[in-house]
C-alpha cells in the first residue's frame, strides 16, 4: 500500500506553483522565487521540481531554472517531448501511475528535507485542471500532498476571471492558496483588481512583479540572455519578492505551530463526546491536518530525539492514517471527495437553506424519490427529514407510538414502550436513549429511563473456522444448542433454513416472551431494531432468521398486544398496512451499502420489511448531518385529523436542508453507479471461494445475491483460529469485527482490544502509515468506506495478521519490550 504522503517537513518549505492558465509565467516566478530563496538565509538550499514536463528537452523549465537560478537543485521527473497537455503527450509512452508520481515527488522532497533547511518549489503543468499523464486533472491528482500553493495569475485580458476560477477550483479541493503572483501590466491591471478582491474575501496575499523583457526583434540570443539575466537579478532581489518569501515562510511556520498547538488547545477548550477528560491528555489527541480518500493526514508523533539533528529533521510532520472507523461510520465515498464538495457548494449557491414547511425544493424531492424507489420496500411511501440518526429515530418512535395508540385506543397518558434487542442503541438524545435498555452508555444520565423490553438474541460469529450461531444464555434451553455452519452464506440462506423449520423454535420463544410482558399489563407501540448488526451496542451480528421471526410474530396478531382489540377493516386496508405493531428498522448504521446492499432490510427477506425505516450517516457520504425517516401510508394516516395538534409535532429549522439533500442525492447516485458498474465485484468474488472448511459452501439461489465483504474471505477464518486471543469474529460489507477474548470481562468498559488497537496505531512501513481504529469494549472493529480498494484492504489485513502474530509471540515469550 502506498497512500499518498503529505509534503510537510519542519525545515523544508515546500510550495506548489499552480497557474491560472498555461503560459502565465509559472516558470519565471518559480525561477525568481527559487533564486531569491537560496540567498535569504545563510546556508539554506533551494530546489525546483517539475513532476511532469512536456515539450522539447531544450525548452524544459528546469533548463531555464538552471540557467537563471544557478545553484538551485532541480529535477524533472517525467518528460514528454510533444508540447501538448501531458495526458496527450503521454499517449503511447510509459505512463506513471498516479501513486508512482506522488511517491516520486515525495521521495525527491524527502531527500531535500534530509539535506537541511531550505525551500522547494514544485511547478505544475498548464492550468490547475490540466490533466496529468493518467488523465486525472492536477488539482485532484495532487490534493493529497496537502502542499500550500502559490498561484500565478493570468495578467492578460480576461485573466481576472481565470485567476479567480482557478483559485476556486483549488479551494474546493481543500488547497490553501498562500499567495497570488501577477505581472504588472498597465493596460489590464489585473493585480490591482485581484488585490482588492482577495482582500475583501480574506483571501491570499496578492503581489505583482515586473514583466520579463520582450525578446528583442532580430537581436541575437546573447542580448536576450543578457536582458533576462538582468531581469532575474533585479526581480529576485526585489522587496516585493522578499515580502512574498517572508509570507510563505511565515505561513509554513504558522501551520506547523498550529498543528503542534492544536492538541493542547483542544484539551483546554473542547468538551469531547463520550470522553472522560480526566483520562485524556493532550498527547491522546490526534491533530488532523486534512483527509483524502480513506486516509487522514495526521500529525506524526515525534521520533525520539538523538544528538544528530540531521537525522530528526527528516521526519515528516504528517503521515497518512487509515480511517479505520470510517469517521464514526459516516464516510462512504472517501474524504475530500470533490464531487460531494461541488454538490454541497452547488446547493449552497443555489439555495442556502430554504424553510421546509409548505414549500418544496428539488434536492428534497429528488432524495425522497431515490430513497423510496430504491428501498425495495413496497410499504414505504413518505419521507420525513430531520438532522441526524438520533432525531430520525425519535421521529420514527413518535410515528409508531401514535399509530399504535390510535389503533388500540390507548389513552394519551398510557405508558407505551418499544420492543427491542438487547444492546440495541439508537442515539444520544433522551428519546432515542429511552429506546435502549439500561447500560453503561445511559444508566447515569439524568432523565433517561428505558421504555420497553429488550430480547436477547442469537449471535453469529466465526469461531475456529466455523460460522456459529450462539444462542443467548438467558434463553436457557428453549432455543436449543448453538448451531454451526460452514459458510456465512448458509447462515443467511433463510429460505433453506425456513424449509428446515429453524424458525419455529424462534417464533415460539418470541411469542412466549411477548405474551408474558403483555400479560403483565405492559403496552408496546413499536418493534425497533437495527437489522442484521447491532452497531454501537457491541458490533454483534444477529442471526437474521431470528430478526425475521421477530417481525413475523409481531405482525401476526393485534391480540398479542391488546387482547381486547376488535380488528377493524381499516387496520388492514391493504397489504402494506402495518399489523400488530409498526416495525421500525434503524438502518442508520447498517443501511446504504454498509453491509453491501442499499437496504439491510433485504437480508431478512420478503415480508419482513419495516413500516418505518431510519437512514443517516452514509446518506450524505460523510459530509454533513442529515437523516430521513421513511414511513408507510398506514403509519402516516394515523396523524390525519382536522386539528393541527394531531400532526406529527417535530421539525428542525434545517429540515431537509438543500445542501444535505443534494449531497445525499449525489452520494446515493455514486454508490448505486458503483454497484451497477460492478466496482465491488472483486469483493463479491471473494465470496466465490469455498471456505477453508471446503465443500460445505452452497451456491445461492439464482437471482439472490450472496453476502459478501471487502475483507479477504480467509481473514475471519484466520483470525478465528487465534483462539487464545479471540472469542470470535465476522466480516460483512465494509465491516470487520473482532471480539477479543477479554479476561477483564466483556462490555463497554473493557480494555481488552486496546493492545491490538495500539499495534495498528503504530502502523506499517516503519510508521510511514498507520491505522486509526476504534474499540467498543472488547471488540475492535475495522471499517472501510465504499471506495476502499482491494490493495489497501489487503495491506491492512496483513497488518492485522502481523499484529496478532506479534502478540502471540509476545505471549509465548514475554520480554520487557512487549506491551
Which residues, 6+ apart, have CB-to-CB distance to 255 below 8 Å? 8, 148, 176
Bridge partners, 468 (sequence order): 461, 484
Sole residue written with cell 524533472: 76
Binding flag, residue 334, its own copies (CB under 8 A): yes
Compare residues 565 and 650 and give the one whose CB is closer to its own copies: 650
Binding flag, residue 434, its own copies (CB under 8 A): yes
| Interface region with its own copies, contact rule CB under 8 A, candidates 170-178, 564-572, 578-586, 599-607 | 170-178
Distance CA 426, CA 805 (A): 36
Compare residues 311 and 640 and give the one whose CB is closer to its own copies: 640
Query: Considering the complex, what minimum distance in angstroms separates the CB of residue 759 from its own copies?
Result: 17
Give the CA radius of gyration of the chain: 31
* Pairing mode of beta strands 177-183, 149-152: parallel
**Per CB under 8 A, which of residues 46..75 are in contact with its own copies?**
none
Compare residues 331 and 599 and give the one whose CB is closer to its own copies: 331
Binding flag, residue 677, its own copies (CB under 8 A): no
Distance CA 158, CA 185 (A): 13
Nearest 5 degrees, angle CA 423-CA 429-CA 431?
A: 75
Which residues, 6+ apart, have CB-to-CB distance to 673 below 8 Å? none
The residue from 655, 667, 720, 788 that contacts its own copies (CB under 8 A) is: 655
Binding flag, residue 639, its own copies (CB under 8 A): yes
| Interface region with its own copies, contact rule CB under 8 A, candidates 215-223, 439-447, 541-549, 736-744 | 439-447
**Per CB under 8 A, which of residues 520..549 are in contact with its own copies?**
525
Which residues, 6+ apart, have CB-to-CB distance to 96 below 8 Å? 78, 104, 133, 134
Binding flag, residue 88, its own copies (CB under 8 A): yes
The residue from 2, 111, 346, 768 that contacts its own copies (CB under 8 A) is: 346
Query: Considering the complex, what minimum distance in angstroms separates the CB of residue 650 from its own copies?
Result: 4
The residue from 72, 95, 153, 347 that contacts its own copies (CB under 8 A) is: 347
Grid cell, residue 432, equals 432515542
- Which helix (H) or strand (E) segment holds residue 523: the answer is strand 523-529
Within 10 A of 238 (CB to CB), how many other CB atoms are there? 16
Binding flag, residue 420, its own copies (CB under 8 A): no
List Cα–Cα distances, 542 to 472, 491, 546, 603, in angstroms: 11, 10, 8, 11
CA atoms lying within 13 Å on the CB side of residue 137 = 12
The residue from 350, 522, 559, 672 that contacts its own copies (CB under 8 A) is: 350
Nearest 5 degrees, angle CA 303-CA 306-CA 312?
A: 50
List Cα–Cα distances, 164 to 170, 192, 604, in angstroms: 10, 13, 53
Within 10 A of 247 (CB to CB), how many other CB atoms are there? 15
Binding flag, residue 475, its own copies (CB under 8 A): no
Compare residues 231 and 408 and give the one whose CB is closer to its own copies: 408
Compare residues 221 and 521 and give the one whose CB is closer to its own copies: 521
The residue from 109, 327, 734, 788 that contacts its own copies (CB under 8 A) is: 327
Compare residues 544 and 660 and give the one whose CB is closer to its own copies: 660
**Per CB under 8 A, which of residues 282..311 are in contact with its own copies?**
284-288, 290-291, 296
**Per CB under 8 A, which of residues 445..464 are in contact with its own copies?**
445-447, 451
The residue from 96, 431, 458, 686 that contacts its own copies (CB under 8 A) is: 431
Compare residues 211 and 721 and give the one whose CB is closer to its own copies: 211
The residue from 43, 70, 214, 358 that contacts its own copies (CB under 8 A) is: 358
Distance CA 305, CA 312 (A): 6
Q: For residue 633, how far is the Cα from the chain centroid?
A: 34
The residue from 34, 155, 236, 391 that contacts its own copies (CB under 8 A) is: 391
Binding flag, residue 564, its own copies (CB under 8 A): no
**Per CB under 8 A, which of residues 765..794 are in contact with its own copies?**
774
| Interface region with its own copies, contact rule CB under 8 A, candidates 28-36, 184-192, 207-215, 597-605 | 184-192
**Per CB under 8 A, which of residues 130..169 are in contact with its own copies?**
130-131, 135, 137, 143, 157-158, 160-166, 168-169
Compare residues 91 and 516 and give the one whose CB is closer to its own copies: 91
Binding flag, residue 180, its own copies (CB under 8 A): no
Binding flag, residue 654, its own copies (CB under 8 A): yes
Q: For residue 285, how far is the Cα from the chain centroid?
A: 19
The residue from 16, 53, 390, 691 that contacts its own copies (CB under 8 A) is: 390
Kindly determine how many residues on this chain lie close enough to bind its own copies according to the rule CB under 8 A.
174
* Pairing mode of beta strands 466-470, 770-772: unpaired
**Which backbone phi and psi does 304 adopt, to 5 degrees?**
-60, 130
Binding flag, residue 676, its own copies (CB under 8 A): no
Binding flag, residue 501, its own copies (CB under 8 A): no
Binding flag, residue 129, its own copies (CB under 8 A): yes
Inter-residue contact 588 to 630 (CB < 8 Å): no
Distance CA 550, CA 508 (A): 10
**Per CB under 8 A, which of residues 243..262 are in contact with its own copies?**
258, 262
| Interface region with its own copies, contact rule CB under 8 A, candidates 99-107, 213-221, 376-384, 552-560 | 376-384
Query: Considering the complex, what minimum distance in angstroms separates the CB of residue 159 from its own copies?
Result: 9
Sole residue written with cell 511565515: 250
**Per CB under 8 A, which of residues 571..630 are in contact with its own copies?**
616-617, 621-625, 629
List Cα–Cα distances, 51 to 114, 532, 588, in angstroms: 19, 49, 44
Inter-residue contact 720 to 764 (CB < 8 Å): no
Q: Residue 614 in 3-state DSSP?
A: strand
Amino acid at each position: 500500500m502506498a497512500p499518498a504522503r503529505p509534503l510537510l517537513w519542519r525545515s523544508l518549505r515546500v510550495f506548489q506553483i499552480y497557474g491560472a492558465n498555461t503560459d502565465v509565467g509559472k516558470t519565471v516566478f518559480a525561477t525568481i522565487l527559487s533564486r531569491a530563496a537560496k540567498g535569504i538565509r545563510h546556508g539554506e538550499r533551494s530546489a525546483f521540481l517539475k513532476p511532469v514536463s512536456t515539450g522539447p528537452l531544450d525548452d524544459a523549465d528546469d533548463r531555464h531554472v538552471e540557467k537563471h537560478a544557478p545553484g538551485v537543485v532541480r529535477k524533472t521527473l517525467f518528460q514528454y517531448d510533444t508540447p501538448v497537455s501531458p495526458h496527450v503527450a503521454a499517449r503511447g509512452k510509459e505512463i506513471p501511475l498516479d501513486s508512482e508520481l506522488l511517491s516520486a515527488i515525495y521521495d525527491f522532497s524527502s531527500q531535500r528535507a534530509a539535506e537541511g533547511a531550505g525551500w522547494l518549489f514544485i511547478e505544475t503543468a498548464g492550468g490547475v485542471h490540466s490533466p496529468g499523464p493518467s488523465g486525472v486533472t492536477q488539482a485532484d491528482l495532487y490534493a493529497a500532498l496537502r502542499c500550500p500553493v502559490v498561484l500565478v495569475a493570468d495578467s492578460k485580458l480576461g485573466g481576472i476571471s481565470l485567476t479567480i476560477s482557478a483559485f476556486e477550483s483549488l479551494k474546493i479541493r481543500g488547497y490553501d492558496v498562500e499567495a497570488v503572483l501577477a505581472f504588472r501590466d498597465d493596460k489590464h491591471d489585473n493585480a490591482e483588481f485581484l488585490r482588492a478582491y482577495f482582500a475583501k474575501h480574506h483571501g491570499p496575499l496578492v503581489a505583482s512583479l515586473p514583466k520579463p523583457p520582450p525578446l528583442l526583434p532580430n537581436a541575437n540570443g546573447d542580448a536576450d540572455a543578457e536582458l533576462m539575466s538582468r531581469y532575474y537579478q533585479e526581480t529576485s532581489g526585489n522587496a516585493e519578492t522578499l515580502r512574498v518569501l517572508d509570507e510563505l515562510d511565515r505561513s509554513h511556520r504558522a501551520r506547523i505551530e498550529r498543528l503542534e498547538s492544536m492538541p493542547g488547545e483542544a484539551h483546554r477548550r473542547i468538551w469531547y463526546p463520550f470522553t472522560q477528560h480526566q483520562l485524556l491528555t493532550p498527547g491522546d489527541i490526534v491533530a488532523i491536518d486534512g483527509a483524502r480518500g480513506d486516509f487522514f493526514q495526521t500529525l506524526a508523533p515525534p521520533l525520539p530525539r538523538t544528538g544528530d539533528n540531521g537525522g530528526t529533521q527528516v521526519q515528516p510532520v504528517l503521515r497518512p492514517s487509515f480511517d479505520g472507523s470510517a469517521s464514526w461510520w459516516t464516510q462512504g465515498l472517501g474524504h475530500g471527495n470533490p464531487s460531494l464538495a461541488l454538490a454541497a457548494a452547488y446547493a449552497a449557491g443555489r439555495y442556502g437553506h430554504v424553510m421546509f414547511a409548505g414549500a418544496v425544493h428539488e434536492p428534497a424531492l429528488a432524495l425522497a424519490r431515490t430513497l423510496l424507489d430504491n428501498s425495495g420496500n413496497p410499504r414505504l411511501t413518505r419521507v420525513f427529514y430531520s438532522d441526524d440518526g438520533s432525531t430520525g429515530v425519535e421521529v420514527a418512535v413518535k410515528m409508531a407510538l401514535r399509530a399504535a395508540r390510535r389503533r388500540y385506543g390507548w389513552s394519551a397518558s398510557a405508558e407505551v414502550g418499544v420492543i427491542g434487542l438487547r444492546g440495541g442503541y439508537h442515539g444520544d438524545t433522551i428519546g432515542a436513549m429511552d429506546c435502549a435498555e439500561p447500560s453503561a452508555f445511559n444508566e447515569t444520565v439524568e432523565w433517561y429511563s428505558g421504555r420497553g423490553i429488550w430480547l436477547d438474541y442469537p449471535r453469529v460469529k466465526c469461531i475456529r473456522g466455523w460460522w456459529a450461531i450462539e444462542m443467548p444464555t438467558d434463553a436457557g434451553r428453549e432455543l436449543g444448542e448453538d448451531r454451526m455452519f460452514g459458510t456465512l452464506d448458509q447462515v443467511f440462506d433463510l429460505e433453506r433454513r425456513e424449509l428446515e423449520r429453524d424458525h419455529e423454535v424462534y417464533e415460539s420463544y418470541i411469542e412466549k416472551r411477548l405474551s408474558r410482558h403483555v400479560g403483565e399489563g405492559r403496552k408496546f407501540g413499536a418493534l425497533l431494531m437495527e437489522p442484521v448488526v447491532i452497531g454501537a451496542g457491541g458490533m454483534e451480528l444477529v442471526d437474521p432468521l431470528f430478526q425475521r421471526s421477530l417481525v413475523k410474530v409481531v405482525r401476526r396478531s393485534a391480540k398479542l398486544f391488546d387482547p381486547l382489540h376488535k380488528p377493524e377493516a381499516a387496520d388492514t386496508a391493504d397489504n402494506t398496512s402495518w399489523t400488530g405493531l409498526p416495525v421500525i428498522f434503524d438502518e442508520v448504521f447498517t443501511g446504504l451499502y454498509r453491509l453491501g446492499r442499499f437496504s439491510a432490510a433485504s437480508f431478512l427477506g420478503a415480508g419482513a420489511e419495516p413500516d418505518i425505516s431510519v437512514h443517516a450517516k452514509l446518506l450524505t457520504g460523510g459530509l454533513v448531518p442529515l437523516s430521513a425517516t421513511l414511513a408507510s401510508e398506514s403509519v402516516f394516516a394515523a396523524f390525519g385529523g382536522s386539528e393541527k395538534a394531531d400532526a406529527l409535532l417535530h421539525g428542525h429549522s434545517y429540515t431537509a436542508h438543500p445542501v444535505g439533500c443534494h449531497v445525499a442525492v449525489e452520494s446515493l447516485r455514486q454508490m448505486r453507479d458503483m454497484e451497477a458498474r460492478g466496482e465491488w465485484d472483486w469483493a463479491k468474488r471473494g465470496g466465490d471461494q469455498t471456505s477453508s472448511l471446503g465443500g460445505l459452501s452452497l451456491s445461492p439461489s439464482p437471482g439472490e445475491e450472496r453476502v459478501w465483504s471487502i475483507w479477504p474471505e480467509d481473514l475471519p477464518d484466520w483470525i478465528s483460529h487465534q483462539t487464545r486471543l479471540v472469542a470470535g469474529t465476522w466480516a460483512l460489507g465494509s465491516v470487520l469485527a473482532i471480539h477479543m477474548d477479554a479476561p477483564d470481562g466483556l462490555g463497554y468498559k473493557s480494555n481488552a482490544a486496546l493492545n491490538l488497537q495500539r499495534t495498528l496505531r503504530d502502523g506499517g512501513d516503519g510508521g510511514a502509515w498507520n491505522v486509526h481504529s476504534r474499540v467498543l469494549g472488547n471488540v475492535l472493529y475495522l471499517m472501510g468506506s465504499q471506495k476502499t480498494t482491494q490493495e489497501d484492504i489487503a495491506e491492512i489485513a496483513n497488518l492485522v495478521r502481523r499484529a496478532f502474530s506479534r502478540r502471540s509471540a509476545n505471549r509465548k515469550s514475554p520480554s520487557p519490550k512487549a506491551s
